[in-house]
Amino acid sequence: MHRDGNGIAAGSGQQAAAAGTAGRRRVPLLSALGRAARAVAWLWLFAVGVAAWWVLSAHSTSLYFPPLEKILRQLYALWIAGSARGQLAASLEQFAAGYAIAGLGGIGIGALLWSVRGVREATSPYIYFLYVLPAPALVPAVMTIFGIGFTMKVVIIAFAAIWPTLLNTLDGMRGVDEIKLDTSRVLGLSGFRAVRSVVLPAAAPQIVAGLRNSLQVAIILMVVSEWIASTGGIGYFIVNAQQAFNYLNMWTGIIMLALIGIVANLLFVLAENWLLHWHYAARAKEAR
């Protein structure tokens, strides 16, 4: 829960910041793009892997492992040009709604728990209980309450993904430097304004680390919720294809999921670098 930044983002952030302090002032978005580009530069290794897969599977006649070329053609036909687009959209909608609720809810509830000590202490056993409960175990219960559909899946995703953000927000806010809080009182900030202008940004690095964990969880639960109870969506598509012995389609779904994960993470890193550029740059300066 204590991850502060992470591999790609932090590492590349430092380089860019070190380069950045010399000349630039104002272009966090551009330098974020630069950092992302550097992260992407390592993709050659990935490209080698894909090429190997392509070559080794080219003449495969196995029902289970069709040639990559064939998978990709089918992927295009289904997910980009064809009928599965609707499934994809449905999944992404649920994911986006669930993740948004988890993110905003996590930050909001975390901030509330931080600011009202009584509430924090009273709710902490419940929070701990809910936190250790594996979210998929709740699917049957949520199904009973919300039925099979959009709401149920959003609830599952939000419920599972809220914890990393909530706990990191609480923890990050607890860890805000006393002097920064004293300073905010001296400057005259109070209540909501102090939280928005000082506590939130000061805890932002840790909150963002929480949001990143929540993102992974949300993607996982997007799929899992569709396995268990759904008549559509990408997770449903994969299971359905597998049960119909359509392994080609199954593989396209899996690759599509990987692509979704990559794009989501990339967007996240971009947003993170833009939002926390001050953090990485200041840390890079300190390290020198």
Partner 1 sequence: MISRDVGAPGGAGRAAHAGSGVPVVSLRHVRKSYPAGGRAGAAERLALADVTFDVARGEFACVVGPSGAGKTTLLRCLAGLMPPTSGEALFEGNVLRRVPDRVGVVFQDYSRSLYPWLTVNRNIALPLKVRGVDKATRAKRIAEVLASVGLAGVGRQYPWQLSGGMQQRVAIARSLAYRPDLLLMDEPFASVDAQTRFELEDLILRVRDEFNVTVVFVTHDIDEAIYLADRIVVLSASPGVVAEIVDVALPRPRDQITTKSDERFARYRQKLLGLVMAR
Q: Which residues bind partner 1 (CB under 8 A)?
A: 21, 25-26, 177, 179-180, 182-183, 185-189, 193, 197-198, 201-202, 204, 278-279, 281-282, 285-286
Contacts 24+ apart (CB under 8 A), 20-24: 20/281, 21/281, 21/284, 21/285
CA distance 148 to 133: 21
Closer to partner 1 by CB, 107 or 142: give it.
Answer: 107
* Token pair for 133: 């409960």
Min separation Cβ 119 and partner 1, Å? 23
Closer to partner 1 by CB, 170 or 198: give it.
Answer: 198
Closer to partner 1 by CB, 174 or 193: give it.
Answer: 193
Inter-residue contact 259 to 78 (CB < 8 Å): no
Closer to partner 1 by CB, 153 or 279: give it.
Answer: 279
CA distance 50 to 52: 5
* Token pair for 276: 């926390």
* Token pair for 218: 């949300």
Min separation Cβ 110 and partner 1, Å? 19
